[in-house]
């Protein structure tokens, strides 16, 4: 996952001449205005719950955003809590070990939840009950029943809610959507997605300590002294302290859904942003640990195939932690292909190609794009966190609100349930259940 602050992105394929720029100038993108009324000048007072790997990045985004003020931080691991207090850009920030104490702080207007997924439901529901607006990291939850409960509570209370799919801040999906609706590549029947990562025995996937790419292992004896292990486990099965579960929780199913909730959810959220098809009708997943033979439960290879029956569109996701190959989102139509520049949450550019071979040997002329999108001033949107802050002040709907969060949760859980049950699963739209 990447920070929601502006990122450096690699160019996909450089185009020459002024043709692409002229075409872009004529496209219709998302309006540059923000939702709702003009926000007040008073910063939103934020409390951060969970300031580990992802939470640290969100804390950095908030501490530099003039639209908010960090007034409280909470974590069950003291080094994380101390680091967060120092980075909060507020000498009066309060530090809490128990998130209930943070929710009881009258200065906190809204919370940012960046804990392992198994905690999301309890924290979201408790925050709503405490009258706080909520920004919660993806994947939203580990069960459809939990997603239903959260959605209902948000609607009943009128809570402003944002799910952390920061790709929603990019205009590329809006422009691509209009082009596809206008028939730029013909009827779209197939979308290819993928997430790839390679490593070494010293630097294996998902095995970092405290921040992305940090493989320096802290002393376990010191960790347990500074960690409230029982509180970290929370609703998960009670086990003795296990440093690998604490640091590498995405590898173990009591705390999340593996690649489904981490990587696939980002890619499928881009598909939702572009096509707006909602929850797929069916999903088939095959997954196993093909390479990393450690004690991880979550497979390193994750292959999911979705079908949207009414629009006659299939979506494939390839997750492989044994390759540096890149499969950026590719929408395939009868007359051509639309290919994004980066993984789902960073997909800021795209190109279109006429129908033809995706690859030709080097001695033959290579396919050339007939359109290249790069955002201009007319495509500006508020970043994902600023969108949340604006809506807290205006009481507007965020760009990844509870309805979009429910679609995300059902979609990723279809993939997880298909893996768990070892069969195709179907979404029952009437009962809102996976069957």
Global pTM value: 0.90
Does position 2 have pLDDT exceeding 70, yes or no? no
* pLDDT score for 304: 98
Report the relative pairing of strands 44-49 and 110-113 from DSSP bridges.
parallel
Residue 22 pLDDT greater than 90, yes or no: no
> What pLDDT score was predicted for residue 220?
97
pLDDT value of residue 358: 78
Q: What is the pLDDT of residues 344-359, one digit of tens each?
A: 999 999 999 999 887 7
pLDDT at residue 107 greater than cutoff 90: yes
Mean per-residue pLDDT, 307-317 = 97
Determine the average pLDDT of the residues in 64-75. 97
pLDDT at 1 over 70: no
pLDDT at 402 over 90: yes
Q: How many angstroms separate the CA atoms of 250 and 259, rounded?
A: 8
Provide the Cα torsion 148, 154, 155, 161; round to 10°: -110
What average pLDDT does the chain have?
91
Looking at residue 360, its pLDDT comes to 78
Residue 367: predicted pLDDT: 87
Question: HEC profile for the chain?
Answer: CCCCCCCCCCCCCCCCCCHHHHHHHCCCCCCCCCCCCCCCCCCEEEEEECCCHHHHHHHHHHHCCCCEEEEEEECCEHHHHHHHHHHCCCCCCEEECCHHHHHCCCCCCEEEECCCHHHHHHHHHHHHHCCCEEEECCCCCCCHHHHHHHHHHHHHHCCCEEECCHHHHCCHHHHHHHHHHCCCCCCEEEEEEEEECCCECCECCCCCCCCCCCCCCCCHHHHHHCECHHHHHCCCCCCCCCHHHHHCHHHCCCCCCCHHHHHHHHHHHHHHHHHCCCCCCEEEEEEECCCCCCCCCCCCEEEEEEEECCCCEEEEEEEECCCCCCCCCEEEECCEEEEECCCHHHCCCEEEEECCCCCCCCCCCCCCCCEEECCCHHHCCCCHHHHHHHHHHHCCCCCCCHHHHHHHHHHHHHHHHHHHHCCCEEEECCCCEEC
The pLDDT assigned to 27 comes to 32
Q: Is the pLDDT of residue 9 over 70?
A: no
Domains of the chain: 169-201+256-383+410-434 (3.30.360.10)
């Amino acid at each position: 996952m990447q920070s929601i602050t502006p990122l450096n992105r690699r160019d996909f394929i450089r185009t020459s001449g002024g043709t692409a720029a002229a075409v872009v100038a004529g496209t219709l993108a998302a309006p540059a205005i923000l939702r709702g009324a003009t926000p007040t000048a008073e910063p939103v007072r934020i409390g951060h719950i969970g300031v580990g790997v992802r939470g640290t990045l969100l804390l950095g985004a908030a501490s530099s955003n003039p639209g908010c003020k960090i007034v409280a931080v909470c974590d069950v691991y003291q080094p994380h809590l101390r680091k967060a207090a120092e980075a909060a850009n507020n000498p009066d920030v309060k530090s809490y070990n128990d998130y209930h104490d943070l929710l009881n702080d009258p200065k906190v207007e809204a919370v940012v939840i960046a804990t392992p997924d198994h905690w999301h439901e309890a924290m979201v529901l408790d925050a709503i009950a405490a009258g706080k607006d909520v920004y919660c990291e993806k994947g939203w939850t580990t069960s459809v029943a939990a997603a239903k409960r959260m959605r209902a509570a948000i609607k009943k209370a009128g809570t402003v809610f944002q799910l952390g799919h920061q790709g929603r801040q990019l205009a590329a999906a809006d422009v691509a959507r209009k082009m596809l609706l206008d028939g730029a590549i013909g009827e779209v029947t197939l979308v290819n997605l993928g997430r790839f990562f390679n490593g070494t025995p010293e630097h294996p996937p998902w095995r970092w300590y405290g921040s992305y790419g940090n493989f320096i292992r802290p002393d376990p004896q010191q960790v347990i002294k500074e960690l409230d292990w029982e509180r970290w486990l929370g609703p998960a099965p009670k086990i003795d302290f296990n440093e690998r579960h604490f640091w590498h929780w995405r590898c173990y199913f009591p705390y999340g859904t593996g690649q489904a909730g981490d990587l696939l959810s980002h890619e499928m959220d881009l598909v939702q942003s572009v096509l707006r098809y909602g929850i797929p009708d069916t999903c088939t997943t095959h997954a196993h640990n093909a390479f990393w033979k450690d004690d991880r439960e979550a497979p390193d290879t994750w292959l999911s195939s979705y079908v949207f029956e009414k629009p006659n569109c299939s979506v494939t996701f390839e997750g492989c932690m044994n390759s540096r190959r890149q499969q950026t989102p590719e929408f395939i139509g009868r007359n051509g292909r639309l290919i994004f520049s980066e993984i789902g949450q960073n997909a800021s550019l795209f190109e279109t190609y006429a129908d033809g071979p995706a690859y030709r040997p080097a001695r033959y002329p290579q396919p050339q794009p007939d359109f290249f999108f790069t955002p201009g001033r007319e495509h500006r949107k508020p970043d994902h966190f600023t969108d949340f802050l604006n809506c807290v002040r205006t009481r507007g709907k965020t760009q990844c609100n509870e309805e979009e969060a429910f679609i995300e949760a059902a979609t990723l859980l279809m993939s997880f349930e298909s893996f768990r049950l070892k069969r195709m699963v179907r979404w029952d739209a009437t009962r809102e259940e996976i069957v």
